[in-house]
Amino acid sequence: MPNIQTENLIQLIGSLSKAEKRAFKLYVGRFQSSDNAKFLQIFDFIDKTRNYSDSALLKKYQDIKKSQLSNLKAHLYKQLLVSLRLQHAGSSTDIDIRESIDYARVLYNRGLYNQSLRILERAKSTAKKYNLDILSLDITFFEKKIESQYITRSIDSRAEELALESNQLIDKISESNEYSNLTLKLYGLYLKVGFVKNEKEYLFVKQYFDSNFPDFGDTELDYYEKMHLYNAYYWYYYIVQDFLNCYKYAKKWVDLYEEYPEMKEYEFEIYLKGINNILGALFNLRHYEKFVVYLDILKDLLKDPVKRNENTEYQLRLYYYTNLINKHFLEGTFSDGLRNIPEIEEFLEEYETTMDYHRSINLNYKIACLFFGAGDNRNTIIYLNKIINVKESSLREDIQCFARILNLIAHYEVGNEELVEYQIKSVYRFLSKMDDLQGVQEEILSWVRNLRTMRPEELDKSFKILRSKLVKLSQMQYEKRPFLYLDIISWLESKIIGTQVQSVVQEKFKREQLLGESLYFPVKKS
């Protein structure tokens, strides 16, 4: 198995485009040395080899000694980063600013103080335009150093201006830091306790939010302060399952880019995250009309030829595919959604080495639900096994929980009687180990336990009883969340009336559109 150094190198080379690989070779070609020739051999070997091993490399290139390999890999990794930095400097504002600071340092070290100050002045102007307060402060400190040590014939008030400017920047950075800290704390709280499940947990989260909320009085906020503030509110309302306020603050987040249009390109990934948060809130509210509007924004961005980096391209496609599936969930058009699976599979394979477990498994779960809604239970099982078989300790229990429940239902639908018995034991064992089961999970656990001894003629009655209990739970404030993972009510109704799941969901969708509100999540539309 490759070590961490080799694994990182393989991932980095695998992420390069053809143009970036070509540019790297041209960059290395400018420097003639035997070491360069050797690490280029390593580059080519990794680039063209699917299953890399040190032994295979050393066998092919016998002029490379085993004792050299570690240093050559480290050198190759560093030169790749240098090459990428040079290639993308013009498209990254903060890299350009840091480069200007480096140039200013070179001039300063040569005693060319006025030239150094002129470069710093231009760099600071750019930093201020994009609200890059930390870089602005770094430049200001450098200016103060020059002004305090050397006679540069600056205007008399320059020292006072720099002192005032540095104090203002420190205050702004401190405020932005406090808001971002609150966001991070709330995210950590969410990972620890998940969504609130009762009034006691709601009061705890509210007190936690209020006690950690920064108090800066009537201070006028800039872009980053507002963005972090709206993000903090979004996470708070997300944890307490107030999806209407989630939408409100996610929209404030996205509307910031009307107020600060220059930030849309610079912080494109944060803009995308804001749109994704809006879509998530609208999906949870089942607000179809607005959901489609924002999904079309993502679709238009995918078609936009504007230059994007790998990170923003990945995020844009991830958010689009996730919400495209959600659209089919809302409409009940599961069979239509299956047409997108090959494209999504290609995306999953392309970003296999960089996508985190949670996002990968979340997409696989949604694909499994598409197959289930379309009545293809065998493929449902295939995709659910990708989730159930992952032994990742950081994976949230909620996805694993409902993956197992859906897996049991899919095996039941296929008619795998022997496997159904095994799945019943598996689901029962998993649910029994979970802490703080919600009412929905407890009812399902009870139903699963009784399913072992239930006679075929009793099934229809059990479907009706379980449906009645779950419908009541779906109207309760802290019991709604599980139904966003698995629409078991629609499945129960399909069994009771003898039709397909997607037919039931489509009929509900038509009624929702006619009534102008969600059947499960009523919300006033404005």
Confidence at residue 218, expressed as pLDDT on a 0 to 100 scale: 57
Provide the residue type at 143 as one letter: E
Compute, in degrees rounded to 10, the torsion defined by CA atoms 526, 286, 490, 468: -60
- How many residues are listed for the chain in this entry? 526
Is residue 131 located within the same domain as residue 37?
Answer: no
- Say how far apart CA 51 and CA 31 lie, in whole Å: 30
3-state class (DSSP) for residue 2:
coil
Domain boundary among 128, 154, 180: 154
The encoded tokens of residue 422 equal 């095994």
Is residue 405 located within the same domain as residue 507?
Answer: yes
HEC string of 326-362? HHHHHHCCHHHHHHHHHHHHHHHHHCCCCCCHHHHHH
Confidence at residue 525, expressed as pLDDT on a 0 to 100 scale: 42
> What DSSP string runs through 5-53?
HHHHHHHHHHT--HHHHHHHHHHHHTS--HHHHHHHHHHHHHHH-SS--
The encoded tokens of residue 382 equal 């295939």
CATH number of residue 427's parent domain? 1.25.40
Q: Which long-range contacts (CB under 8 A, 24 or more apart) does 285-289 make?
A: 285/243, 285/244, 285/247, 285/518, 285/521, 285/523, 286/330, 286/512, 286/518, 286/519, 286/520, 286/521, 286/523, 287/247, 287/518, 287/523, 287/525, 288/330, 288/331, 288/509, 288/512, 288/513, 289/525
Q: Judge whether 191 lies within some domain.
A: no
Helical H segments across 286-340, by residue range: 288-303, 310-331, 334-337
The encoded tokens of residue 486 equal 């698995």
Confidence at residue 485, expressed as pLDDT on a 0 to 100 scale: 76
Find all residues with CB under 8 Å of 494, minimum gap 6, and list them: 500, 501, 503, 504
The 10s digit of each residue's pLDDT in 52-94 is 888 888 888 888 888 888 888 898 899 999 888 888 776 788 8
Is residue 104 located within the same domain as residue 49?
Answer: no
Q: Judge whether 448 lies within some domain.
A: yes
Is residue 503 located within the same domain as residue 374?
Answer: yes
Domain membership of residue 98 as a residue range: 92-154
Helices (H) and strands (E) in the chain, counts: 27, 0
pLDDT by residue for the chain (526 residues), tens digit each? 457 788 888 888 888 888 889 988 888 877 666 566 788 888 989 888 888 888 888 888 888 888 888 888 898 899 999 888 888 776 788 889 999 999 999 999 988 988 999 999 999 999 999 999 999 999 999 999 888 777 555 556 777 888 899 999 998 899 889 999 999 999 888 877 778 888 888 999 999 999 999 877 656 888 999 999 999 999 999 999 899 999 999 999 999 999 999 899 889 999 999 999 999 999 999 899 999 999 999 999 998 877 678 888 899 999 999 999 999 999 999 999 999 999 999 999 888 877 877 888 889 999 999 999 999 999 999 999 988 887 764 556 778 888 888 888 888 888 877 787 788 888 878 877 776 667 888 888 788 778 777 887 788 888 899 999 999 988 888 887 778 777 889 999 998 998 899 999 999 899 888 876 555 455 444 3
Q: Which residue has the tokens 């979004």?
A: 234
Is residue 97 located within the same domain as residue 142?
Answer: yes
Find all residues with CB under 8 Å of 84, minimum gap 6, and list them: 20, 24
Is residue 111 located within the same domain as residue 10?
Answer: no
Is residue 127 located within the same domain as residue 149?
Answer: yes
Confidence at residue 524, expressed as pLDDT on a 0 to 100 scale: 45
Contact at 8 Å (CB) between 241 and 477?
Answer: yes
Q: Judge whether 269 lies within some domain.
A: no
Contact at 8 Å (CB) between 380 and 371?
Answer: yes
Q: How many structural domains are present in the chain?
A: 3
Q: Judge whether 226 lies within some domain.
A: no
Is residue 384 located within the same domain as residue 523?
Answer: yes
Taking each helix axis as running N to C, give the angle between helix 133-149 and helix 93-109, from 0 to 180 degrees, rounded to the nearest 10: 10
Domain boundary among 154, 178, 202: 154
Contact at 8 Å (CB) between 151 and 158?
Answer: no
Q: Judge whether 373 lies within some domain.
A: yes
Confidence at residue 420, expressed as pLDDT on a 0 to 100 scale: 78
Domain boundary among 90, 112, 137: 90
- Say how far apart CA 500 and CA 484 lie, in whole Å: 19
Is residue 85 located within the same domain as residue 21?
Answer: yes
Q: Judge whether 244 lies within some domain.
A: no
Q: Judge whether 230 lies within some domain.
A: no
3-state class (DSSP) for residue 395:
coil
Is residue 468 located within the same domain as residue 429?
Answer: yes
Q: Which residue has the tokens 């969708």?
A: 509
User: Among 386, 405, 415, 377, which residue's Cα sits nearest to residue 483?
Assistant: 405
- Say how far apart CA 55 and CA 59 lie, in whole Å: 6
Neighbours of 432 (CB within 10 A): 10
Find all residues with CB under 8 Å of 61, minimum gap 6, and list them: 38, 41, 42, 45
Q: Judge whether 289 lies within some domain.
A: no
Is residue 84 located within the same domain as residue 114?
Answer: no
- Say how far apart CA 156 and CA 307 lie, in whole Å: 45
Provide the residue type at 524 as one letter: K
- Say how far apart CA 1 and CA 99 lie, in whole Å: 38
Is residue 468 located within the same domain as residue 362?
Answer: yes
The encoded tokens of residue 517 equal 């509100």
